[in-house]
Chains A and B, each alone.
Chain A
Amino acid sequence: MEKNEAPWTIKHAPKRIDELVNKDAVLKLLNFIKTWKPGGKVALIYGPPGTGKTISVYVIARELGYEVVEMNASDVRDAKSIMRIAGSAAMQMSLFGKKGKIILIDEVDGVSAREDRGGLKAIIDVIKSTQAPVVLTANDAWDPKLSSLRSVCELIEYKKVRETEIIRILKAICAKEGITVSPEILKMIAKNAEGDLRSAINDLEAIARGKKTITKEDLMLLAKRDREQNIFEVLRMIFASQSARRAIIAAGMADVDYEMLLQWINENIPHHMEDPLELANAYDALSRADVYLGRIHREQNWKLLSYAMDLMTAGVALARTRSRFKFVKYNFPSLIKEMSKTKEEREILNSIGEKIKRRCHVSVKRAITEYLPYIVIINRVNPSIGEKLLKWFDFNKNEIEYIKKASRV
């Protein structure tokens, strides 16, 4: 066996678009890149590890004859270096012919708020001025850190790779490597990988390299992969719980914070509780959890958080008294995008409120709820009158921009 052979994940990486997994997502990405024009959105491709996100960018670039300028988590990603690398690539069109570049910023959810100071903001700046399509990858598109990015992104979801698909690919690799493996063993490797194709290939390589046949004993090498429980499993554990303690413990394993967990549970209650009494009781528990959260926010009384958790997990789970637990497909919380306002957004709303207050004798809060919506509507249906109103309020450039943007929605 050659000594310097590349790992199988690279050696057997797909070369053509039709070899990629997650076909739907790949086609969306392909279409995004082909139709992209300066000023357009950015693609945020997201999904669990090993679902073909990064590789698909390279394969598509190769097929289209584009160059990929990549930054990943191993680079330092503070504002300066992002602007230096991606920024310069973003600004200049390729000198050589018409073919362009794709800027790939890998694992944006790994950009640290502290070490990579200004990193996310720099990414947004690059996005604004880019002359080349930008593709971001992330495991979790719903990370609160990314909320300001999400609004300028086209989201493309990469799903866990199906077991049958993993088996098919493992089989092909075995064939190329000249290894004999029983379907049963491949199935076990695939199952253990839990939708992560890369880890399946790594596992296969670990037990099969240099062998011609693999036996069940070889499988003992395969340690159960230890993962942070992802949100879907946590939800399943919570909803399946028949004891309060188990539901509460399950919540503790989640890799999301309590706000997100609340939204996930909210989104998925009706899928588990079809019985009207169970539904009403589950929602009553969630509603009371929310009341605790309100008190926590108002009074900064974090002692109350554990009661909120009790209600949103055990309270919801134990509402299921008559029907049996069944497996359901979990949905992403749909309100997240709308609800999370960024700090900048809140600041600008406040300054708008201050200006309205000066003119209309109301509090900032009431200015925002009672006046701003009408100002926005007037700007939408009649920009010339709207313009004059904006002048009367003496809004500055940023404030006007915000209102105009709102009125285009």
Chain B
Amino acid sequence: MAEEIMWTEKYRPRVLDDIVNQEEIVKRLKSFVEQRSMPHCLFAGPPGTGKTTAALCLARELFQDTMDANFMELNASDARGIDVIRTTVKEFARTAPYGGAPFKIIALDEADNMTADAQQALRRTMERYTRTCRFILICNYSSKIIEPIQSRCAIFRFAPLKDEDIAKRLRWIAEQEGIEVTDDAINAILYIAEGDMRRAINTLQAAAALGKVIDAETVYKVTGRARPEEVREMLKMALDGKFLDARAKLRELLIRYGLSGIDIIRQIHREIFNLDLPEAWKVRLADVTGEIDFRISEGAHEEIQLSALLAQFALAGSQIKRGL
């Protein structure tokens, strides 16, 4: 029986040339391989845009069969303390590269989750062992990396993937897997993925588990994510003053569909501009949505924050009705 593995791994590009939509970056990384030399790097960009893949490809092309010995991948979210920097990272960085490799590489994924102390410790390690080891820091927000580290790195900004690039990749994977995907289904996946290739591929794989033909219905069914209409419906209920109904809908989205608060608030943000509202109100509602988005990242309970947002929509609805 054939093995089944996650398609994100099965179809993760092996070589730099296969990386989608980051031509400029790929060109420069390839020149590093050719010259067998590179600076410390900072890869910044949204999730699922190929940052980790680029680091893996770069290391593979540079080291080839000595990759295991010369490349270390660490996830800063899980090992973000200063201890890891002082021990694991330092141990690896200070010893000479194997098999005639010009240097080693440490990829520090989700580096923006490192504490400031750990970043300070890292900065010294980077300087001290530059000859034997290069760092690739990977993050979503470069602003969370302290300046001294930024100044020691070549910064690469990974752009969000374009819908057509993701669509192309999905169609290619479907072909390899011998499955049929309708245009509707592709659009549904794109809506859900929001420029995140990883999520797009995971969604495709989950949908394919249902059968060989995938349409939009299948996509929504298996992902169990909110359909756009349901978020819209929830907002309409709130605007109509049916707050309790809207809140019940919200809970359904959170519990039954397992959506995260961040997922929901992003969908709310997009739906605002599809709603039949006075234009000026759309901007005001976008503003309160942004505020709640911020509070979710600061707060403890998504459900409470989103309920508060729905209460703002209910208020907006009543004021619009009264012509305010």
Binding site for B on A (CB under 8 A): 262, 266, 270, 276-277, 279-280, 282-284, 286-288, 290-291, 293-297, 334-335, 338-339, 357, 359-366, 369-371, 373-374, 377-378, 381-382, 385-386, 388-389, 391-392
With contacts A276-B315, A361-B52, A362-B75 taken as known, whether A286 is within 8 angstroms of B308 at the C-beta atoms is yes
The distance from the CB of A161 to the nearest CB of chain B, in whole angstroms, is: 29
User: Within 8 Å of chain A (Cβ to Cβ): is B247?
Assistant: yes
Q: CB-CB < 8 A to A366: which residues of B?
A: 47, 77, 110
Q: How many B residues have CB within 8 A of the partner chain?
A: 57
Task: For chain B, residues 86 to 136, give those with C-beta under 8 angstroms from any C-beta of chain A.
Answer: 109-110, 113
Q: CB-CB < 8 A to A370: which residues of B?
A: 47, 198-199, 202
With contacts A364-B77, A374-B203 taken as known, whether A287 is within 8 angstroms of B4 at the C-beta atoms is no
Whether the pair B241, A276 counts as a contact (CB closer than 8 A) is: yes
User: Within 8 Å of chain A (Cβ to Cβ): is B73?
Assistant: yes
Q: CB-CB < 8 A to A294: which residues of B?
A: 298-300
Q: CB-CB < 8 A to B109: which residues of A?
A: 361-363
Whether the pair B78, A364 counts as a contact (CB closer than 8 A) is: yes
Q: A361-B52, A364-B77 are in contact. List 14 more A-B contacts (CB 8 A).
A: A276-B314, A276-B315, A279-B243, A279-B311, A279-B315, A283-B307, A294-B300, A360-B9, A361-B56, A370-B47, A371-B6, A374-B203, A374-B223, A392-B6
The listed residue (B56, B222, B260, B311) touching A377 by CB distance below 8 A is B222
Q: CB-CB < 8 A to B224: which residues of A?
A: 373, 377
**Proximity string of chain B (299-315) to chain A, C-beta cutoff 8 Å, 1 when within and 0 when not:** 11101110110011011
Binding site for A on B (CB under 8 A): 1-6, 8-9, 47, 52, 56, 73, 75-78, 109-110, 113, 198-199, 202-203, 205-206, 209-210, 222-224, 241, 243-244, 247, 251, 254-255, 258, 260, 292, 295, 298-301, 303-305, 307-308, 311-312, 314-315, 317-319
Whether the pair B300, A286 counts as a contact (CB closer than 8 A) is: no
Whether the pair A287, B308 counts as a contact (CB closer than 8 A) is: yes
Whether the pair A276, B299 counts as a contact (CB closer than 8 A) is: no
Whether the pair B5, A389 counts as a contact (CB closer than 8 A) is: yes
Q: How far, in whole Å, are A265 and B300 apart by their CA atoms in the complex?
A: 15
Q: How far, in whole Å, are A357 and B74 apart by their CA atoms in the complex?
A: 10
**Residue in A283, A287, A365, A389 whose Cβ sees the most chain B Cβ within 10 Å:** A287
Q: How far, in whole Å, are A277 and B301 apart by their CA atoms in the complex?
A: 22
Q: CB-CB < 8 A to A277: which residues of B?
A: 315, 318
Whether the pair B295, A369 counts as a contact (CB closer than 8 A) is: no
A-B contact pairs, 23 of them (CB 8 A): A276-B318, A280-B311, A286-B307, A287-B299, A287-B304, A287-B308, A291-B298, A293-B301, A296-B300, A335-B251, A339-B301, A359-B6, A361-B56, A363-B78, A366-B47, A373-B258, A374-B205, A378-B209, A385-B209, A389-B5, A389-B6, A392-B4, A392-B6
The listed residue (A266, A296, A381) touching B304 by CB distance below 8 A is A266
Whether the pair B258, A286 counts as a contact (CB closer than 8 A) is: no
Q: CB-CB < 8 A to A392: which residues of B?
A: 3-6
The distance from the CB of B236 to the nearest CB of chain A, in whole angstroms, is: 15
With contacts A362-B75, A365-B77, A389-B6 taken as known, whether A382 is within 8 angstroms of B210 at the C-beta atoms is yes
Q: How far, in whole Å, are A361 and B314 apart by their CA atoms in the complex?
A: 43
Q: CB-CB < 8 A to A369: which residues of B?
A: 260
Whether the pair A338, B209 counts as a contact (CB closer than 8 A) is: no
What's the dominant secondary structure at chain B's contact region?
helix
With contacts A373-B258, A374-B202, A381-B209 taken as known, whether A262 is within 8 angstroms of B315 at the C-beta atoms is no
With contacts A280-B314, A361-B56, A388-B3 taken as known, whether A382 is within 8 angstroms of B209 at the C-beta atoms is yes
- In the A-B complex, list the 10 residue pairs whose CB atoms are closest, starting with the nearest: A363-B77, A388-B4, A287-B308, A382-B209, A283-B311, A280-B315, A283-B308, A276-B318, A294-B299, A294-B300
Whether the pair B6, A338 counts as a contact (CB closer than 8 A) is: no
**Residue in A365, A374, A388 whose Cβ sees the most chain B Cβ within 10 Å:** A374
The distance from the CB of A370 to the nearest CB of chain B, in whole angstroms, is: 6
Q: CB-CB < 8 A to B75: which residues of A?
A: 357, 362-364
Q: How far, in whole Å, are A285 and B206 apart by their CA atoms in the complex?
A: 41
The distance from the CB of A323 to the nearest CB of chain B, in whole angstroms, is: 14
The distance from the CB of A286 to the nearest CB of chain B, in whole angstroms, is: 6
Of chain A, the residue at the smallest CB distance from B7 is A374
With contacts A290-B300, A293-B300, A295-B298 taken as known, whether A266 is within 8 angstroms of B307 at the C-beta atoms is yes
Whether the pair B299, A280 counts as a contact (CB closer than 8 A) is: no
The listed residue (B110, B205, B312) touching A378 by CB distance below 8 A is B205
Q: How far, in whole Å, are A339 and B298 apart by their CA atoms in the complex?
A: 18
Whether the pair B4, A385 counts as a contact (CB closer than 8 A) is: yes
Whether the pair A276, B317 counts as a contact (CB closer than 8 A) is: yes
Q: CB-CB < 8 A to A381: which residues of B?
A: 206, 209-210, 222
Q: CB-CB < 8 A to B77: which residues of A?
A: 363-366
The distance from the CB of A154 to the nearest CB of chain B, in whole angstroms, is: 19
Q: How far, in whole Å, are A371 and B196 apart by their CA atoms in the complex?
A: 13
**Residue in B47, B223, B311 whose Cβ sees the most chain A Cβ within 10 Å:** B311
Q: CB-CB < 8 A to A389: which residues of B?
A: 4-6
The distance from the CB of A360 to the nearest CB of chain B, in whole angstroms, is: 6
Whether the pair A287, B295 counts as a contact (CB closer than 8 A) is: yes
Of chain B, the residue at the smallest CB distance from A271 is B244
Q: How far, in whole Å, are A398 and B243 apart by their CA atoms in the complex?
A: 41
Whether the pair B78, A357 counts as a contact (CB closer than 8 A) is: yes
Of chain B, the residue at the smallest CB distance from A377 is B206
Q: How far, in whole Å, are A283 and B52 apart by their CA atoms in the complex?
A: 41
Q: How far, in whole Å, are A339 and B300 apart by their CA atoms in the complex?
A: 11
Whether the pair A374, B260 counts as a contact (CB closer than 8 A) is: no
Whether the pair A378, B206 counts as a contact (CB closer than 8 A) is: yes
Q: CB-CB < 8 A to B258: which residues of A?
A: 373
Whether the pair A290, B318 counts as a contact (CB closer than 8 A) is: no
The listed residue (B1, B113, B206, B305) touching A290 by CB distance below 8 A is B305
The distance from the CB of B222 to the nearest CB of chain A, in whole angstroms, is: 5
Of chain A, the residue at the smallest CB distance from B8 is A360
Whether the pair B295, A291 counts as a contact (CB closer than 8 A) is: yes
Q: CB-CB < 8 A to B298: which residues of A?
A: 291, 294-295
Q: CB-CB < 8 A to B255: which residues of A?
A: 335, 338
Of chain B, the residue at the smallest CB distance from A312 is B304
Of chain A, the residue at the smallest CB distance from B12 is A361
